[in-house]
């Protein structure tokens, strides 16, 4: 009766791997004690085992341990001092072994007993293993020193194992080295390593199957074209033309890939709006199109290569020009040329003017700011430029004097030559326009200063007063920079990339500054200095008051 009870208990508990009359506890899992477990089923194993998954059927354990380097090498591998290596020919110097991977996981060694004359069985937990070695790596190519006894060699030839002759078991004597039999041995210089990798490579190429089938079966198989989704297309979809060189080729139509992308994104209606704009004006800037249409930068970037080509250099640089339109053949394109206007001085570089491309732009790519206002590409009276350097088309310089100068430009004869720097405009036209724009910006800054000096009574307007004082300070400094002009070094020191220090005007009389000399001294590019050196609050207020008195 007792035997039947024990057998029933074994059958009911066999899926749980619980011993028959023992308490089991895994020392590496002491957290199990925190749960509500029956302590009668807990047992501690003080000496855990090491599991080695041997890649073969082991008949002789001692020989299997010898192929692993012996107990000492296994102990060193468990301690982490070396890797466990399996070598089926440990006595051969030409045999290359296979290295095992050490894995830390829990394993249980179970002993199962089943009598031959009974269908029931019994089992018990012998021990646990927390370290295992598994041979997942490939073994290197084996090249054993086997030489055919007869020549020529064929598949039925007998071979001779020359390992003991090439590598003796003892220190060779002089007689062994000088005898004829040793000198006639064939040389066997084998590379110490053949394979470059011991793990199988899973980095399959995209079209490897196509290349293999094309090699095996020349007639080939029709594969469907698979397009990757989710990654933006980085192909060059636009034409780039520079008018710095005299001979240029004007594109007539867009690339097929650009039109295909527009059709895939279903932007045909947006494309019609862009085409209508280029019918009104053949040359546009991207920022002006964004303001006119209200489209985002990503949409405009896809649509523009379908209706225009990009000008990378010359009087129309950074502009998009309609296909099949050559501004070199039409002098009326001079109103679309670029005016480069800059607020320039060493102190002006330290002004807190918002940058076009800030340092934090890369950190906020997920939330792009595509809002564009008119002041970003149009200059009017009483308007202060939003940045230190602004590029305007002459048709967008809505200042009366500049528009009158454009209207009074004479028609050019067919023999007129195009200038690479000035385009179809006179030589001094750009300098005069900069002088006029500079004057209007000076007046706008002065009006801003006067507006900031007006009192704002009331406690509720104190915040506005403090912000106006900051704007007034900025405008006063900007006014002094524009008023003073720029003093640069001689042309021989242009490569030093430095600007001389400028002191504020202390005399009561204002010196007359030649604007042409100031403009001609401006370099083509301005160096963006670090924002860490800003010191706007260190401005001399007494000098500002003297400047304001002179202006009044």
- Which 3-state string (H, E, C) describes 478-509? HHHHHHHCCCCCCHHHHHHCCCCCCCCCCCCC
Q: Is 53 helix (H, G, I), strand (E, B) or coil?
A: strand
Q: Is residue 159 located within the same domain as residue 30?
A: no
Same domain, 13 and 151: no
Same domain assignment for residues 7 and 78: yes
Let me know if residue 233 belongs to a domain: no
If you search the block for the tokens 């060193």, which residue do you land on?
76
Does residue 393 lie within any of the structural domains?
yes
Q: What is the pLDDT of residue 198?
A: 77
Q: Does any domain span residue 24?
A: yes
Q: Which two tokens stand for residue 485?
A: 């002009």
pLDDT band at 492 (very low <50, low <70, confident <90, very high): very low
Digit-coded pLDDT (tens) for 46-56: 888 999 999 98
Asked which of 76, 107, 134 is the last residue of a domain, the reply is 134
Kindly state whether residues 40 and 161 are assigned to the same domain: no
Residues 30, 178: one domain? Answer: no
In the structure, what pLDDT confidence band is assigned to residue 9 with cuts at 50, 70 and 90? very low
Q: How far is CA 63 from CA 69, 91, 99, 142, 381, in A?
A: 10, 12, 18, 20, 97
Q: CA–CA separation, 167 vs 169, rounded Å?
A: 7
Let me know: does 377 contact 318? Beta carbons within 8 Å: no
DSSP assignment, residue 47?
A: S
Assigned domain for 299 exists: no
Q: How many domains does the chain have?
A: 3
> Could you say which DSSP state residue 434 is in?
H
Note whether 532 and 400 are same-domain residues.
yes
Q: Are residues 490 and 414 in the same domain?
A: yes
Residue 440 placed within a domain: yes
pLDDT computed for residue 205 by the predictor: 59
Residues 126 and 160 in one domain: no
Task: Tell whether 60 and 151 lie within a shared domain.
Answer: no
Preceding amide of 168 cis, omega within 30? no
Per the structure, the complete domain to which residue 178 belongs is given by 146-183
231-284 pLDDT, tens per residue? Answer: 554 556 889 998 888 788 899 999 998 999 999 899 999 999 999 999 999 999
The answer as to whether 105 is a domain residue is: yes
Structure tokens at 3: 């035997």
Is there a domain that residue 19 lies in? yes
CATH code: domain of residue 8: 3.30.200.160
The string of pLDDT tens digits covering residues 422-439 is: 889 988 899 999 999 988
Query: Are 125 and 66 in the same domain?
Result: yes
Q: Are residues 42 and 153 in the same domain?
A: no
| Nearest CA-CA partner of 281 in 396, 373, 410, 371 | 396
Residues 52 and 155 in one domain: no
Q: How far apart are CA 105 and CA 293, in angstroms?
A: 63
Picking from 114, 134, 154, the residue at the C-terminal end of a domain is 134
């Amino acid at each position: 009766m007792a035997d039947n009870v024990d057998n029933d208990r074994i059958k009911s508990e066999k899926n749980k791997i619980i011993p028959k009359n023992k308490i089991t506890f895994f020392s590496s899992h002491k957290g199990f004690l925190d749960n509500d477990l029956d302590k009668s089923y807990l047992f501690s194993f003080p000496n855990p085992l090491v599991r080695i998954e041997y890649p073969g059927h082991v008949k002789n354990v001692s020989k299997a341990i010898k192929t692993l380097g012996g107990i000492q090498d296994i102990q060193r591998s468990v301690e982490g001092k070396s890797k466990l290596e399996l070598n089926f020919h440990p006595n051969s110097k030409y045999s290359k072994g296979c290295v095992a991977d050490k894995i830390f996981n829990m394993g249980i060694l179970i002993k199962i007993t089943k009598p031959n004359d009974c269908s029931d069985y019994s089992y018990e937990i012998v021990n646990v293993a927390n370290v295992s070695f598994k041979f997942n790596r490939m073994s290197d190519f084996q090249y054993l020193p086997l030489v055919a006894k007869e020549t020529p060699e064929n598949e039925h030839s007998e071979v001779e194992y020359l390992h003991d002759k090439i590598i003796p078991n003892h220190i060779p004597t002089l007689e062994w080295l000088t005898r004829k039999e040793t000198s006639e041995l064939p040389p066997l210089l084998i590379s110490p390593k053949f394979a470059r990798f011991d793990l199988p490579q899973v980095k399959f190429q995209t079209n490897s199957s196509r290349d293999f089938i094309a090699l095996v079966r020349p007639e080939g198989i029709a594969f469907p074209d698979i397009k990757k989704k989710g990654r933006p297309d980085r192909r060059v979809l636009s034409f780039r033309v520079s008018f710095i060189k005299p001979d240029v080729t004007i594109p007539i139509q867009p690339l097929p890939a650009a039109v295909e992308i527009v059709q895939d994104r279903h932007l045909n209606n947006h494309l019609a709006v862009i085409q209508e704009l280029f019918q009104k004006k053949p040359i546009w800037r991207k920022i002006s199109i964004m303001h006119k249409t209200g489209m985002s930068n990503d949409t405009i970037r896809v649509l523009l290569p379908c209706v225009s080509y990009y000008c990378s250099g010359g009087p129309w640089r950074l502009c998009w020009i309609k296909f099949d339109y050559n501004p070199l053949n039409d002098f009326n394109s001079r109103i679309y040329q670029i005016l480069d206007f800059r607020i320039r001085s060493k102190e002006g570089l330290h002004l807190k003017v918002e940058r076009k491309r800030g340092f934090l732009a890369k950190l906020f790519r997920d939330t792009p700011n595509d809002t564009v206002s008119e002041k970003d590409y149009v200059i009017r009276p009483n308007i202060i430029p939003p940045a230190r350097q602004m590029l305007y088309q002459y048709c967008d310089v809505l200042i009366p004097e500049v528009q009158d100068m454009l209207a009074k430009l004479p028609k050019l004869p067919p023999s007129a030559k195009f200038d690479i720097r000035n385009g179809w405009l006179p030589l001094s036209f750009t300098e005069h326009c900069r002088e006029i724009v500079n004057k209007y910006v000076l007046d706008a800054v002065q009006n801003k200063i006067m507006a900031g000096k007006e009192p704002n009574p009331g406690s509720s307007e104190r915040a506005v007063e403090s912000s106006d004082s900051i704007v007034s300070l900025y405008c006063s400094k900007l006014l002094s920079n524009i008023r003073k002009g720029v003093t640069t070094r001689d042309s021989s020191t242009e490569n030093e990339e430095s600007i001389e220090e400028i002191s504020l005007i202390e005399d009561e009389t204002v010196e007359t500054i030649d604007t042409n000399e100031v403009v001609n001294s401006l370099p083509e590019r301005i160096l963006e200095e670090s924002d860490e050196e800003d010191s706007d609050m260190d401005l001399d207020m007494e000098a500002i008051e003297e400047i304001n008195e002179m202006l009044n």
